[in-house]
Chains A and B, each alone.
Chain A
Amino acid sequence: GAGVSQTPSNKVTEKGKYVELRCDPISGHTALYWYRQSLGQGPEFLIYFQGTGAADDSGLPNDRFFAVRPEGSVSTLKIQRTERGDSAVYLCASAFQGSGANVLTFGAGSRLTVL
C-alpha cells in the first residue's frame, strides 16, 4: 500500500483481556518495527523484524507481549492479560532494508485503553 496501515485505530478493553494489534507495512519493506508511546513520552522501542524473524525483541517489556510476522509482511502485536499500564499508542513502522541505515515510515498508531 501507499503507507503503513494500522488497525484498529482505537481499542478499549478490560483489564485481563487479550488484544491483537495489526500492522500492514509498505509493500516491499522488509524491516518492520513496533514502538509504544505513552502520553507525553517519546516512542519506546519494542521489537524489530527483518523479514519473518524477530531480529531484536529486547524492548518487549515482559512475556505478556508477543509479535509475529509469519509471511514477512503483515505483523501482529499480541498482548495477553492486559494491564492498565499497557494503555498507550502502539506505533508500527516499516523500512526498506538497503545498505546503511533504515529510514522508518510510521503508521498513525493504534491507541489502546485498558480499563
Chain B
Amino acid sequence: AQSVTQPDIHITVSEGASLELRCNYSYGATPYLFWYVQSPGQGLQLLLKYFSGDTLVQGIKGFEAEFKRSQSSFNLRKPSVHWSDAAEYFCAVGAHNYGQNFVFGPGTRLSVLP
C-alpha cells in the first residue's frame, strides 16, 4: 500500500521569500502524485499533479513541483510567497489502477509573515 510523509508540520516564511514543502512517498510502482491546498474552513483545492513525462510540473498560483524517483520525493516550490498562500498543504499519492484510493500526507501548515 502507498504512504506519504510530510516531514514539516509547520513552516513560517516571510512574504516574498521562497518556499519549499517536502513530500516523500512509498509506492511499489510509478505513482500519480498530487498537491492540494486547504484554506481555513475550505475544501481541498488541487494545485498540481504528476502523472508521467516531464518531472517538473507547473500548477496554479505560481506553484511548481518536481518528481524525483531516486529520492521518492515530490517537493512543492514557489519562488516568492504571498500572504494569501497561508494555508494547509497536503501531498497525496494515487495508485495506478481503477480500484484506487488516494492517500494523503499529514499536511504542512504554512504561515506567512508580513
Which of B94, B99, B104 lies in contact with A101, CB distance below 8 A? B94
Rounded to whole angstroms, the CA-CA distance of A40 and B45 in the bound complex is 17
A56 contacts B99, C-beta separation under 8 Å: yes
B107 contacts A41, C-beta separation under 8 Å: yes
CB contacts (< 8 Å) of A41 on chain B: these are: 106-107
Rounded to whole angstroms, the CA-CA distance of A44 and B92 in the bound complex is 11
Rounded to whole angstroms, the CA-CA distance of A40 and B107 in the bound complex is 8
Which of A45, A97, A101, A106 lies in contact with B43, CB distance below 8 A? A106
CB contacts (< 8 Å) of B46 on chain A: these are: 103-105
CB contacts (< 8 Å) of B106 on chain A: these are: 41-42
Known: A48-B101, A102-B94. 5 other contacts (CB 8 A): A4-B43, A45-B101, A48-B99, A56-B101, A101-B51
Can you list, as one digit per residue, whether each of B37-78 has a CB less than 8 Å from chain A (1) or not (0)?
000011111100101000000000000000000000000000
Interface members, chain A 43-69 (any B CB < 8 Å): 43-45, 48, 50, 55-56, 58-59
**What is the distance, in angstroms, from B6's C-beta to the closest C-beta of chain A?**
8
CB contacts (< 8 Å) of A101 on chain B: these are: 32, 49, 51, 94, 96, 100
Which of A50, A104, A109 lies in contact with B102, CB distance below 8 A? A104
Can you list, as one digit per residue, whether each of A88-115 has a CB less than 8 Å from chain B (1) or not (0)?
0001010001001111111111000000
Which residue of A has the minimal Cβ distance to B97? Answer: A101
Rounded to whole angstroms, the CA-CA distance of A43 and B36 in the bound complex is 11
How many A-B contacts at CB < 8 Å in the complex? 63
CB contacts (< 8 Å) of A42 on chain B: these are: 4, 90, 104-107
Can you list, as one digit per residue, whether each of B75-114 has a CB less than 8 Å from chain A (1) or not (0)?
0000000000000001000101011111111110000000
Most B Cβ at <10 Å: residue of A43, A55, A59, A102:
A43
Can you list, as one digit per residue, whether each of A15-43 has a CB less than 8 Å from chain B (1) or not (0)?
00000000000000000010100001111
Sorted nearest first, the 10 A-B pairs with minimum C-beta distance are: A101-B32, A42-B104, A106-B43, A106-B44, A108-B43, A45-B101, A42-B106, A43-B104, A42-B107, A101-B94
